[in-house]
Amino acid sequence: MARDRAVVEETKCASATRDTTRYYYIETYGCQMNFNDSEIVASLLEQMGYRATTDIKNADLVFINTCSIREKAEETVRRRLRYFQSVSKSIDRPFKVGVLGCMAERMKKQLLEEEQIVDMVVGPDAYRSLPQLIEEVESGQRAVNVLLSREETYADIQPVRLGSNGVSAFISIMRGCDNMCSFCVVPFTRGRERSRDPYTIVAEAADLFDRGYREVTLLGQNVDSYRWVHPQTGEVVHFAKLLQWCAEIDPRLRIRFSTSHPKDMTDEVLHTIAQYPNICKYIHLPIQSGSDRILELMRRGYTREWYLERIEAIRRIVPDCAVSSDIITGFCTETEEDHQMTLQAMEEADFCMSYMFAYSERPRTWAARNLKDDVPREVKIRRLEEVIQLQKQLSLRHNRRDIGKTFEVLIEGDSKRSSSHFKGRNSQNKMVIFPKVNGYQPGDYVYVRIDDATSATLLGHIVTNH
Ligand code: SAH
Ligand code: SF4
Ligand code: F3S
C-alpha cells in the first residue's frame, strides 16, 4: 500500500514539474572509450537534475563527444555542428552546445573561435567541472576546461548505460596512453596513461552482473600495460590479475577486453585467458603494418617477427582463440614492397577481422613533425582496397571453418533483419544469427550449431543436446 502511494506521489510530482525539467542530448563519435565517457557525462548531468532526451529540439544542452583519430572523424563533427546550428536557429528556445572529448582537447579555445554555435569546450579529463562550466554558459558566457590529469579515472562515477542492450557493457580500466606511436593523436588528446583502482572495476562488473548483464568489456588503449599500486599496502595489480578477479565474479559473466598491444602482451595473460572459460577467446591485437621498416617509423616497439611470435604464442596457449587487427595503409614512405609485406602478414596471422584505415596525418604527432605524408591519396586508397579485399577473403575462410561446429552463444537481442531471429556472439566474438525458439531471451546462453557463414556472420540453429 505504502509503496503504491509513493508511486502516485512521484507521478504527480513529475507532472507538476515537467515544464521545468531540463534535458540533455548527447551524440558520441570515436572509440568505445568515448562511448563509455558519454555514460560518465550522462551520470554527472543526471546528478545535476538533467534528464536525457533523444529529441534535440527538446534539449537545453546539446553535447557532442568527439574523436580526432583521423581527419574524417573531425569533418563529421564539423558537419554535425552545422546541423546543430540550423536546428537551434529554427526553434524558439535555442539550446547550448558543448563539445566534449578528443577534438575538444586537441583544438581547445580555437573551437570557440571557429565554431560560433559552440558554447562550451570540455576535454576528456575535465568532466567533473561540468556543473561550473554549465553555470557559466547559462549566465551567457562561453566556457573551456581542457586540463589533462595524471590521476583522473572517474573510478567513483557510476556510468548511466546509454543505448544499452541490457546484456553487454563496457568498463574503462585505464585512461590515456604513453606509447606515442608516431601516427597517433591519442597521447595528445587523452594525456598520460593511468590505471583505475581494480577494486572499483570488479565492483562495477559485479554490479552489472547483479543487474542482469552477462558480458563486460574492459577498455584501455593498451590493456597489457595496466598496472595499479595500492597506495597503502604497495600491492601491485597487473592485467592478468585483473582479468582473473573479473572472471571469478561469476562463471556466467563473460569477460572481454580491448585493446591488446603486441609489444606488451605477456604469456601470463594468455594463460589466464586459457584458464577461465568465461574469459572470451578473442584478442584484438593491432599489427598496423607488416613491414619492419614501417613499424620502426611508426614507433610501435615491435617487429614483424615479434608480432608473428605473439600470434604463435596465442595459438599454442589458447588454441581456439580468434585474433583481429587494425591496419594502416599508406603511412609515410610506404612502398609497394612494404604494402605486400602487410598483405603477407595478414595471411600468416590469419585475422578473423580487421579495422582498416588509410593514413591520415595528425597535427603535433611525431610523424607530422618529422616525416612527409608522401604516399599519394589514390595509392593509399588502392592499397586500402586491397587490404579490405584480402581481409574479406580471410574472414570468409575463417567463418566457413566454423560450419558444423557448435558454439555457446550469448543472446544479445533481435537480429537486425528479422524479429524472428536472435543475434548473439560466440566466445570468439563472431556474430551468430539463428531462429528464435520459445523460452529463450536476451541474456541467456544457448548452444548454436553453425549451418552457414558469410564473411561477417555465422548462421545456425539452437541445439539442445550438443
Ligand atoms: N590503442 C590502440 C589503437 C587506438 S586508435 C592500439 O594501439 O592499437 C585505433 C586505430 O586507429 C589504430 O590502431 C590505428 O590503426 C588507427 N589510427 C590511429 N591513428 C591513425 C592515423 N593517423 N591515420 C590512420 N589511422 C589511424
Ligand atoms: Fe595511439 Fe599507439 Fe597509444 Fe594505440 S598505443 S592509442 S596507436 S599511441
Ligand atoms: Fe578517437 Fe579519442 Fe578514441 S581520438 S579513437 S575518441 S581516444
The 10s digit of each residue's pLDDT in 362-376 is: 999 999 999 999 999
From 189, 355, 362, 365, give the residue whose CB has the most ligand 3 atoms within 8 Å, as the site to mutate.
Answer: 189
In 3D space, the residue among 389, 377, 301 whose CA is nearest the CA of residue 342 turns out to be 389
Q: Is the CB of 187 under 6 A from ligand 2?
A: yes
Confidence at residue 14, expressed as pLDDT on a 0 to 100 scale = 47
CA 68 to ligand 3 center in whole angstroms:
6
Protein residue closest via CA to atom 5 of ligand 2 = 179
Joined grid coordinates for residue 133: 562550466
Longest dimension (CA), the chain: 77
Closest ligand relative to 177 C-alpha = 2
Taking the C-alpha atoms of residue 288 and residue 334, their distance in angstroms, rounded to an integer, is: 12
Q: In angstroms, what is the span from residue 221 Cα to ligand 3's centroid?
A: 9
Residue nearest to atom 4 of ligand 2 (CA): 221
Instruction: Map out the domains of the chain as residue ranges.
Output: 5-145, 406-463
Q: Whose CA is nearest to atom 3 of ligand 3?
A: 31
| Pairing status of strand 431-435 against strand 457-462 | parallel
Dihedral, 329, 335, 337, 340 alpha carbons, nearest 10: 10
CATH of domain 406-463: 2.40.50.140
Atom number in ligand 1 closest to CA 183: 22
Cβ-proximal residues to 178 (8 Å cutoff; 6+ apart), any chain: 187, 192, 193, 225
Interval 14-43: pLDDT, tens: 444 445 899 999 999 999 999 999 999 999
* CA pair distance 466, 451, nearest whole angstrom: 14
Structure-block grid coordinates of residue 437:
525458439
Using the atom order of ligand 3, give the atom closest to the CA of residue 29.
6
What is the crossing angle of helices 130-138 and 32-47, to 10°?
70
Q: What's residue 18's pLDDT?
A: 47
Distance CA 156, CA 226 (A): 18
Ligand number with the minimum distance to the CA of 260: 1
Q: Is the CB of 184 under 6 A from ligand 2?
A: yes
Which of 106, 178, 184, 360 has most ligand 2 atoms within 8 Å of CB, for mutation?
Answer: 184
Which ligand ends up closest to the CA of 259?
A: 1
- Point out the ligand nearest to the CA of residue 361: 1
- Single out the residue of 421, 281, 299, 433 nearest to residue 365, CA to CA: 299
Counting ligands in written order, the one closest to the CA of 258 is 1
Whether residue 443 contacts residue 401, with contact meaning beta carbons closer than 8 Å, is answered with: no
Burial 300-337 (b: 16+ CB within 10 A, else e): bebebeebbebbeebeebbeebbbbbebbbbbbebeee
Cis preceding linkage at 17, omega within 30: no
For residue 413, report the phi and psi dihedrals to the nearest 5 degrees: 160, -165
Instruction: Spell out which residues line ligand 1, taking CB within 6 angstroms.
Output: 69-70, 183-184, 221-222, 259, 261, 286, 288, 326, 328, 357, 359-360, 362
Q: Identify the segments of the chain with pLDDT beneath 50.
A: 1-18
Write down the residue that cell numbers 554558459 correspond to.
Answer: 137
Distance between Cα 367 and ligand 3 center (Å)? 18
Q: Is 68 in the pocket of ligand 2 (CB under 6 A)?
A: no
Closest ligand to Cα 182: 2
> What's the CA-to-centroid distance between 359 and ligand 1, angstroms?
9
What average pLDDT does the structure give for the chain? Answer: 95
**Is 177 near ligand 2, meaning CB less than 6 Å away?**
yes
Q: What is the pLDDT of residue 163?
A: 87
Distance CA 63, CA 48 (A): 15
CA of 30 to the centre of ligand 2 (A): 14
Q: Contact 267/315 with Cβ under 8 angstroms?
A: no
- DSSP string computed for 311-333: HHHHHHHSTT-EEEEEEEES-TT
| Residue whose CA is at the smallest distance from ligand 1 atom 18 | 184
Query: Tens of pLDDT along 255-271?
Result: 999 999 999 999 999 99
List ligand 3's pocket residues with C-beta within 6 A.
Answer: 30-31, 33-34, 67-69, 101-102, 185-186, 189-190
10 CA to centre of ligand 3 in angstroms: 40
Partner residues linked to 414 by β-bridges: 422
Give the pLDDT of residue 2: 39
User: Residue 15, SS3?
Assistant: helix
Q: How far is CA 393 from CA 350, 371, 405, in A?
A: 10, 33, 20
Residue-wise DSSP of 345-385: HHHHHT-SEEEEEE----TTSHHHHHS---S-HHHHHHHHH
Q: Can you give the pLDDT at residue 416?
A: 92
Share of the chain residues as helix, strand and coil, in percent rounded to the nearest 5 = 40, 20, 40
Domain 5-145 indexed as CATH 3.40.50.450:
no
Rounded Cα gap, residues 81 and 67, in angstroms:
14
Q: For residue 3, what pLDDT is reported?
A: 38
Give the model's pLDDT for residue 20: 83
